[in-house]
Amino acid sequence: MKPAPFVHHAPTSVAEAVEVLRSVGHDAKVLAGGQSLIPILSMRLASPGHLVDINAVAGLDTVQVSEDGVRVGALVRHAQLARDEAAYAALPLLRQALVHVAHPAIRNRGTAVGSIAHADAAGELPAVLTLTAGVVEAVGPAGVRDIPAGEFFVGPLETALADDELAVAVRFGRFPAGTRTGFAELARRSGDYALAGVAVAITLQDKAVRSATASFVSVTDVPDVLDLTTAVGPDPAAPDLDAVADAVRAHVTPDGDIHATADYRRMLVAELTRRLVTEVLSR
Amino acid sequence: MTHPLATEQLHVVTVSVNGVRRTATVPARRLLSDFLRHDLALTGTHVGCEHGVCGACTVLVDGAPMRSCLMFAVQAQAHEVTTVEGLGTIEAMGPVQQAFTECHGLQCGFCTPGFVTTITAYLEESPDPSADEAREAISGNLCRCTGYQNIVKSVLRAAELRRDRLAAGWERSNCAVVNEGGAGEPS
């Protein structure tokens, strides 16, 4: 239960971090909060020769809210983002999801960007980034590039980031005016990995449902967006919850494990979505 | 071929622990939990699962509870670490320690250091929690003895003791040796 030996790099700028990744990136992991990475190292599921610790890199710890979205730097901790009032006002879904991320002690250290770069199917923030049509900002030797969420998540624990690229920030998108959001998940114990979870965004215009979308936790390999507009129907007072549940059941592809069978997860996520849609529309 | 351990690079790590600057020479992979216990002989911090689940190793880093098994010692440089040893002594217990004693908040005591650090920081932010809030506050710490009921009582009693001590004009540092220098925001 101890990590294998590695070389610790502590760059103080993005340029320096990218330079280290350029030379050793094929055998390196980036260390930000480390709340997923360090257990993986301790269990020897991975033993990279180099860790590029970005905690001393300046300028990565800010949350910026603009008309287009919420930009979150790579060193912003979950707790910091959850507390940020401007981010909450712009995108309530962030705080709605962040309170489900592990425990307070983990949220004090773990980072939002790290959770996205880790790309665990059980992570809350990949589902949020995807539902908001967000973007990952990656810096590599060739410069900066934006990777849309839809292209970023390649598979479980696998992303489009190259070995020599550093995710310096993510930009969560904002929903149009009149949008209500919600997040629900169920875990065996508070703070555990969710058996299933769902994020929902419903846009109302002239008292009618214009758009309803959802993304999921733990029941899809990579987060994607399910359009529920037709299933929900136009009347916010009378959503077709059976159609919603059917659409969710048909969309998800859960695996079974020691904690829950695939069938149970499918049933669970359909029920969570049904309740969440009801709750979001009744606010 | 040289064994990788023979060539492992060592770092001179200086960390401020409970207000005292402590130095040891360790490899980069030394977990903060092991650094505290093995290198600094501060065995109050306990190590349970070593992957962030059990909460026994929780310490305060700049006043905020964090898992010391999920940090490397080299990362704690330039930060203020508070362990259970920094939260009181047998003669002058902190309010959380006092409450655990009064309310039977522990049996074997293995998990207790993590609870004490977690609750101390929690009460700084939420001085008057309800029983439900207290339950939520300790949800990241596992205890296999008590069934948690007496730990929830301890949280509420600690809040009471803490308020009494503040009202009686105790030094803030006697109430909770955390957040010195106004920290609390992870950096």
CATH of domain B4-87: 3.10.20.30
Q: In 3D, which of B162, B174, B98 has the Cα closest to residue B127?
A: B162
DSSP secondary structure string, A51-96? EEE-TT-TT---EEE-SSEEEEETT-BHHHHHH-HHHHHH-HHHHH
Contacts with B116 from chain A: Cβ below 8 Å: none
Chain A residue whose CA is closest to B8:
A5
Does A51 lie at the interface with B, CB-CB under 8 angstroms?
yes
pTM score, whole prediction:
0.93
CB atoms inside a 10 Å sphere around CB B182? 8
Confidence band of A190 (pLDDT split at 50, 70, 90):
confident
3-state secondary structure of A4: coil
Q: In 3D, which of A110, A124, A231 has the Cα closest to residue A186?
A: A124
What are the structural domain ranges in chain A? 7-53, 63-173, 179-282
Whether B94 and B165 have beta carbons less than 8 Å apart is answered as no
For residue B7, what pLDDT is reported?
79
Contacts with A82 from chain B: Cβ below 8 Å: none
Q: φ, ψ for residue A14 (rounded to 5)?
A: -60, -40
Record: fold of A179-282: Enolase-like; domain 1 (3.30.390)
Whether A247 and A240 have beta carbons less than 8 Å apart is answered as no
CATH of domain A7-53: 3.30.43.10
Chain A residue whose CA is closest to B4:
A5
What are the structural domain ranges in chain B? 4-87, 95-169
What is the overall mean pLDDT for chain A?
A: 97
pLDDT at B108 over 50: yes
Confidence band of B175 (pLDDT split at 50, 70, 90):
very low
Q: d(Cα A142, Cα A206) in Å, to the nearest integer?
A: 47
B122/A104 CB distance under 8 A: yes
pLDDT at B3 over 70: no
What integer is the mean pLDDT of B82-99?
96
Whether A277 and A232 have beta carbons less than 8 Å apart is answered as yes
Give whole-number Cα distances, B120 to A247, B63, B154, B166, in Å: 46, 9, 11, 14
Does B64 lie at the interface with A, CB-CB under 8 angstroms?
yes
For residue A1, what pLDDT is reported?
78
CATH class of this structure's domain A63-173: alpha beta
pLDDT at A63 over 60: yes
Does B58 lie at the interface with A, CB-CB under 8 angstroms?
yes
A108/B66 CB distance under 8 A: yes
What integer is the mean pLDDT of A198-212?
97
Confidence band of B170 (pLDDT split at 50, 70, 90):
confident
CATH of domain B95-169: 1.10.150.120
- Give CA A155 to chain center in angstroms: 14
For residue B140, what pLDDT is reported?
95
pLDDT at B180 over 90: no
CB atoms inside a 10 Å sphere around CB A236? 18
**Predicted confidence (pLDDT) per residue in B14-49, tens digit:** 999 999 999 999 999 999 999 999 999 999 999 999
Residue with tokens 């670490």: B81
Question: E-assigned strands of B36-131?
Answer: 58-61, 64-67, 80-82
